[in-house]
Every structure is written in C-alpha cells, then in structure tokens.
Chains A and B, each alone.
Chain A
Amino acid sequence: MRSKEPCTQAGHQSAPEQSGDEHRTAVKTLFREHNRALVSFLLARLSSEQEARDVAQEAYVRLLQLDSPGTIGFLRGYLFRIAANLSVDRVRIRAVRERTMEVFDEFSEVEMVEGQAMTHQEFEQACEALNELAPRCREAFVRHVVEGYSTPEVARELRVDERTVRKYVTRALVHCRARLRGSGR
C-alpha cells in the first residue's frame, strides 16, 4: 500500500544530498530531544491524543521538507511554530504518517500514556475540593475547564479581565490536583 514514492531514503543521485542528510540528522536530533515537549505542547492545545500525534507528525514532515535548513535553534523554533499553526487548523492528514514513520521509527513507541477516565469517586473529590474555593473561582473553573468556554468568554460573563480568569482557573486546578493526589493516582 505504501512506498509509491521510493524517493524517501534512496536519493543517491541528487547534488544537495549532503546537506539533505545533515538536515535529516538535525531533525532526528530535534525529535529525540524535543518530541516530549512537542507532544505536551500539542496536548495542551488539542482535545485528543490522536490529534496531537497527527499534528506532531505533520510538523516533522514539514520540517523535513524545508528547502534551506537552518541551525538546530532555528529548526526548533520553527518546529513549534508549525505545530502551533497546525494545531489551530487541526489539519489531520493520515497520509503523511507513512512517510514520517520511516524517519521516526521510534514514534510509535513514544509513550503518551493518557490518564484513565476519571472515576466517579475522583470526580466527587474534585467537587469537594472546588467547594472550598470562592464561588467566582469555582464558576470560572467550571465554565472554562469543564464546560469548555474560552477564557475571553468566561471573562465577559463574569465581568473580570482575562488575567483574573486565568488566575482563578489555575488556582482551582492546582487545588484539585493537590486534593486528588492523596488518593489513587
């Protein structure tokens, strides 16, 4: 099914072969050193692990296709920029995966273990924890994290600025985590 394009590994004839190889190595290094960060970054922005994975792979593919490769520092910035843009688009292209896999064999082994679904008991603990917080803090948290309203939307509803919403949400999340940590996970 795959390998309609045998060009991936066997480019012996072309002139810029050397720099192509170097570029490939640079991207591999980047992958090794920053893939975990990239995936975390994407998971923070996207709703599913699969999407994060897709976007990460697409970002690497684009990086590989760069005409004028740069330094690792440049590539790293570029990688995250591509990923950020892609995560906005949520472009999912399955096709690129096959091409990527050849370069990143390890990709399938990257651990991206997501937590299990929340149990009802944990959920109740979270509710208890939230009840210890100020009502507005609770409200901001529930709207943003649980119900999925954007920060600007919550800010408008609660008539506070966005920084305050973020502060509320962080406070509540950190508090929940501290209370949930004692039991279970």
Chain B
Amino acid sequence: MSGQQTVHEAAGDWLQRLDDSELSEADIQRWLEWFTEADAHRRAFEELRQLRARLRATPASWRIEMRRKLNLQAPPATRWWTPPRRWALAAGVAVAVLAGLWWRGPHPGGETLYVAAADRHRVVRLDDGSTAALGAGAVLAVSYSGERRSLDVRRGEAYFEVRRDPGRPFMVWAGGVRVTAIGTAFNVLHNSRQVTVTVTEGVVWVDSVPGNGQVVGSPLVASSGETHLAVGQRLVVPLATAADAAPAANADGLSVWHNGRADFINAPLHEVLRVVNQRADTPLDIGDPRVAYLTYSGTIMQAHLDEWIASLPQVYAVRTVPLNDGRLALVMRAQ
C-alpha cells in the first residue's frame, strides 16, 4: 500500500476487501487488528460502511437519476444487487439435518412422511427435483410411482415448486381437495377450517372439491367439477368439519401501531405482515411458508408502507406475486 494513507482511505480499502468472498484468514486477522487498534479506525470504517449501505439502499429511480446526473451511459444491464443465494437453500437443509431439527421416516406403502417441527419451517427436496417448503408444524406424505407423484398435505402449509414432468402429474391432496400440476409453483394451506390453494407460477387443476369451494380472483375456467387456477388465483375450500376449536382469534386488539409507527425486534415476518396489513392499501400475503419465518427488526412508518413493501425484495431473497384480488403474495425467489 502506498505511503501516506489517511484513516478513511484505509477504511475504504478494508471495506472493499471484506466484501471479497475469498477473504483469507490472514486478511481477517489483519483487519481485526486494524479495526481494534484505534477508535478512529473503527469510526471511519463504520462511517464509510453506513454511507455505502445507504447509497445501496436508494430507490431504483434515484439510481437511474444518478447516472443521468453524472453523465454516465445507461447501465450495462438492469439488475439490482442480488445476493448469491444459490446455496442458501441447500445449506439451510443441511444444517437442519445436522441439528436434528426434523426427521424423515419411511412409511408403509412406500410413503415417506415429512414433518416440520412446531416452531420452524422445513424445506424438502423431493426425488424428482421438486421442492416442498413446509410451514411450521406441517405434515406431508409423499409417495412417487412411475405414473404419478402423489403428495398429501395432512396438516399445515406447504409451498411446492414442481419440476416439470408431463408424463408424471404432480398431485397434491389436502383434506379431500386434489391439486394437480405439471410444472408450476403453488401453495397449499390445510388447516382445520379450510384448504387454500394459491398459485404463484403456471397453472394447476383442482378437482374433487367438496362443498362450496370459492375461487378468489378472476372467474374460474371450470368444466365438469374441475377448476383451473392460474397465477395469482386462489381457491378457498371450507371444510365440513368446521366445528373445531376457534382459530386463534386475531390478536388485533393489541395494535402494534403507535403514532403511525410499528416497531419490531426479531419478529417473524408473518407477524409483521399481519400488522402491516391492518394499514396497508395493498395487503401482503405469505405465499410461501419459508417467508413466514424470516425475521424482521426495525420500525415501519405507516406513511411509508409502500416503500417498506417495495424494499422487501432487497432485504430478503423474496419476490412479490400480484394476486388477482389486488393482494400481493410474498414468495422466496427461485434459486
């Protein structure tokens, strides 16, 4: 390094080197020595880091404006800072296995049962390359044969990303409702009161709908008891056995909003969204159980709810899917 470096220049260099994924141990050691050596080092580093983070977090429109103001050519390609999360899913599963957080047990009749623990979700990679993300407490039975892929959401919520295989339909049962897909993504929520099917990609067929199923969204393309659901559509099937315990009543009585703001510390996103939806023009739904357990800490300003919602894909590896009833569903971004 050149002779006279100011503290801030050194801080800027470090900041960039830490970004390098191939950071060596010796580098970490040297950085740590530098960082702890003087308060001024720490301050300079933090100052630059925050400035960088704030610049990174500017709205997309500003970034375009910046290029114009700086007389720079249009950006090479539209793209935003996407964290490489190619391995995140696999790693999550691997760690879950190591931690013994869930189990997989072979079952009679070639059926495999997947159970997600009561307090966490679980991602299952199925033999055909499809994935199922199970919400906390969900139970999924899987049995594959040469002709079909049969799955049963016995309880809870499961989000499926289906590997395309026209010769082997992917059939998901939930409380007497059957959803058939070839290659698509959809969510099935099976609780004591109802089964809800939400499609976030492609099309699914729903049949043997007991009672009076209701499609939310644009008119359904139905023929002979079969319902087609396309992206953004949702089918709600109330279950006959509705005499169960009342669902945990909305704890809405305790509003988290206070003077137009709501504070959260390590709150699961499903809780945060419930609060946000009390005030948002466009309600946000959990479209994928993995989203429900992302954690959020921070303050949400009612006056800036739209910006907050728009920022979610930058903070988490999620994307929003517009549903036809005007709501938005949040799902994890594909790997």
* B112 on interface, CB distance cutoff 8 Å: no
The residue from B51, B58, B82 contacting A180, defined by CB atoms under 8 A apart: B51
Contacts of A66 in B (CB 8 A): none
- For B88, give its contact among A2, A91, A118, A135 (CB under 8 Å): A91
What CA separation (Å) do A44 and B79 show in the bound complex? Answer: 21
Which chain A residues lie closer than 8 Å to B91 at the CB level? 89, 91
Interface positions of B (Cβ within 8 A of A): 6, 8-9, 12-21, 23, 25, 28-29, 31-32, 35-36, 42, 45-58, 62-63, 66-67, 69-72, 75-76, 79-83, 85, 87-88, 91-92, 95-96, 99, 101, 118-120, 265-266, 268, 293-298, 314-316
Query: 18 interchain pairs (CB within 8 A)?
Result: A34-B32, A34-B36, A40-B45, A45-B19, A47-B81, A47-B314, A77-B28, A81-B28, A93-B95, A93-B96, A97-B266, A108-B266, A135-B72, A146-B58, A147-B75, A147-B79, A173-B52, A174-B8
Chain A residue numbers with a CB within 8 Å of B81 are 47, 147-148
CB-CB < 8 A to A151: which residues of B? Answer: 16, 19-20
A23-79 interface (Cβ within 8 A of B): 34, 36-37, 40-41, 43-50, 53-54, 76-77
Alpha-carbon gap, A145 to B53, bound state (A) = 8
CB of A76, distance to nearest CB on chain B (Å): 8
Least CB separation from A38: chain B residue: B32
5 A-B pairs besides A37-B36, A148-B56 with CB distance below 8 A are A43-B49, A53-B297, A130-B70, A146-B58, A147-B81
Secondary structure at chain A's binding surface: helix, strand, loop or mixed?
helix
Inter-chain CA distance A164–B236, complex, in Å, is 58
Residues of B contacting A97 in the complex (Cβ-Cβ under 8 angstroms): 266, 295
Q: Check A1 against B119 for contact (C-beta < 8 Å).
A: yes
Say yes or no: B47 contacts A177, CB within 8 Å.
Answer: yes
A41–B76 CB distance below 8 A: no
Q: Could you tell me the distance between the alpha carbons of A97 and B295 in the complex, rounded to whole angstroms?
A: 11
User: Do B295 and A50 have beta carbons less than 8 Å apart?
Assistant: yes
Residue of A92, A118, A176 near B92 (CB, 8 A) is A92
Closest to A76 in B: B32
- CB-based nearest B residue for A37: B35
